[in-house]
Homo-oligomer: A and B are copies of this chain.
Amino acid sequence: MLIGQVAGEIFSTINHPVLDNWRLLVVDRLDETGAPTGGYLIALAAVDAGVGQRVLVLDEGNGARQVLADPTAPVRSVVVGVVDSVDLA
């Protein structure tokens, strides 16, 4: 699991039907101090989050399908939480 920041949204009309039911977020990967690492991933908004918010992302298919309660969903990455704070010692 990793920390990301919502950078935007992706739109697709010709696609697998399950993708019509969820917002598809562009999420920048952050390091643990909150700085972007340069990478990103496309994640379904299982927890609602807006642009600029820091989020916890699960990048694993079987768990993602459990979150969506859809055992056939073609997904790998979902937003599972909004990050309130990261406390580093």
Contact = CB atoms under 8 A, between A and B. Distances in A.
Copies of this chain present in the complex amount to 5
Interface residues of A, number: 57
Interface of A: 1-3, 7-16, 19, 24, 26, 28, 31-32, 40-43, 46-48, 51-52, 56, 58-67, 71-78, 80-89
B83 A12 contact: yes
Residue among A10, A28, A46 having the largest count of chain B Cβ atoms under 10 Å:
A10
B9 A87 contact: yes
A76 B56 contact: no
Residue among A3, A12, A59, A84 having the largest count of chain B Cβ atoms under 10 Å:
A12
A63 B83 contact: no
